[in-house]
């Protein structure tokens, strides 16, 4: 099978929160023990930080965070450098999601389920156009490292033929679901599970809330689209209203066998690829950095 080719659409180094590109969510759904609030999605020191806090919000015991793109995309590659948040019952994700899910669910997930200390879950969620029963295709894949301990590159490669997931540029999982072909937004979030509705991320360990990961950025940047991230714009680039009720996660997913206790923090950031020598925008050489500037990158398929 010929690998798809991509060209860079954009990248975000998170020097600030670009409202021309991103929005902050303010909604909830039944499986979420928190209300998403804009105050919990912040850019600090060159990092996007998504937080869970003990702040009561709209009848929920907690506040959490989600951001999503103004533009929608159909097929392509999406990538971010992420340190996920640990803690049983805590979900942190990079995913694509179709707004009008009640009339045809399309979702592609990279999810860290905090009780899993050495793997991440990939999931495809779909339903027929017009609505109908949801099909879940979850797969927990061992990473060989704790996803909550440091930053790693996670990517979704979405084509009409298949959907592939990459970790640090290596193929981790491949799956097929041809129903996932509708314009979707790129999203990132963190939320505590409501165990009365779902246990797929394990029982919620409230002692892990709140916490924050402290990170440091580097000024090195990269402009070579073959080495940066990718994804495809849909034919409908306008920003449609988000339907809060459509974001609910089904409770048919259950935890796996790994129940080792996680380490403490409920904040995750998004950064560029791992430490490499690269050239900056002026052509000057950047030395290997212990920390790199956060980045989410999007590019389009062209063949």
- Answer whether 180's CB lies under 8 Å from 108's CB: yes
User: Over the stretch 237-248, which tens digit does the pLDDT of each residue have?
Assistant: 222 222 222 222
As a whole number, mean pLDDT of residues 28-33 equals: 97
Taking 60 as the threshold, does the pLDDT of residue 254 lie above it? no
Write down the residue that tokens 């797969």 correspond to.
Answer: 139
Taking 80 as the threshold, does the pLDDT of residue 21 lie above it? yes
Taking 60 as the threshold, does the pLDDT of residue 23 lie above it? yes
User: Over the stretch 75-117, which tens digit does the pLDDT of each residue have?
Assistant: 999 998 899 998 999 999 999 999 999 899 999 999 999 899 9
As a whole number, mean pLDDT of residues 132-153 equals: 95
pLDDT above 70 coverage of the chain, percent: 69
Write down the residue that tokens 């129903």 correspond to.
Answer: 179
- What domains can you pick out in the chain, each with its CATH number? 6-301 (2.60.120.200)
Taking 60 as the threshold, does the pLDDT of residue 294 lie above it? no
Report residue 285 as tokens. 């050489």
Q: Average pLDDT of the chain? A: 75
Q: State the pTM of this model.
A: 0.76
Taking 80 as the threshold, does the pLDDT of residue 263 lie above it? no
pLDDT of residue 86: 87
Catalogue the long-range contacts made by 260-263 (C-beta closer than 8 Å, 24 or more residues apart). Answer: 260/115, 260/117, 260/118, 261/88, 261/117, 262/86, 262/87, 262/88, 262/114, 262/115, 262/117, 262/148, 262/205, 262/208, 263/86, 263/146, 263/148, 263/149
How far apart are the C-alpha atoms of 93 and 203, rounded to whole Å?
18
User: Over the stretch 184-223, which tens digit does the pLDDT of each residue have?
Assistant: 999 999 999 999 999 999 999 999 998 553 332 222 222 2
pLDDT band at 40 (very low <50, low <70, confident <90, very high): very high
As a whole number, mean pLDDT of residues 156-173 equals: 96
pLDDT of residue 178: 96
């Amino acid at each position: 099978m010929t690998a798809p080719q991509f060209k860079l659409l954009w990248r975000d180094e998170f020097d600030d929160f670009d409202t021309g590109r991103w929005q902050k969510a303010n909604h909830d759904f039944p499986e979420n023990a928190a209300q998403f609030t804009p105050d919990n999605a912040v850019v600090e020191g060159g990092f996007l930080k998504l937080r869970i806090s003990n702040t009561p919000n709209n009848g929920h015991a907690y506040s959490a965070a989600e951001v999503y793109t103004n533009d929608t995309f159909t097929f392509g590659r999406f990538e971010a450098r992420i340190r996920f948040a640990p803690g049983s019952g805590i979900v942190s994700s990079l995913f694509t999601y179709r707004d009008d899910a009640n009339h045809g669910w399309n979702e592609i997930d990279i999810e860290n389920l905090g009780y899993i200390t050495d793997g991440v879950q990939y999931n495809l969620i779909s339903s027929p156009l017009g609505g109908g029963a949801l099909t879940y295709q979850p797969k927990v894949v061992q990473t060989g490292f704790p996803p909550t301990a440091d930053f790693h590159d996670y990517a979704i490669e979405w084509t009409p033929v298949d959907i592939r997931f990459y970790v640090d540029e290596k193929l981790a999982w491949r799956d097929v679901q041809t129903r996932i072909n509708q314009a979707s937004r790129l999203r990132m979030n963190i939320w505590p599970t409501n165990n009365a509705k779902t246990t797929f991320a394990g029982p919620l360990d409230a002692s892990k809330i709140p916490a924050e990961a402290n990170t440091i950025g580097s000024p090195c940047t990269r402009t070579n689209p073959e080495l940066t991230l990718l994804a495809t714009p849909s034919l409908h680039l306008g920003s449609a209203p988000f339907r809060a009720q459509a974001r609910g996660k089904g409770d048919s997913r259950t935890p796996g066998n790994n129940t080792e206790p996680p380490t403490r923090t409920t904040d995750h950031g998004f950064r560029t690829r791992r430490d490499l020598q690269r050239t900056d925008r002026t052509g000057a050489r950047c030395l290997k950095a212990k920390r790199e500037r956060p980045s989410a990158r999007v590019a389009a398929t062209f063949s």
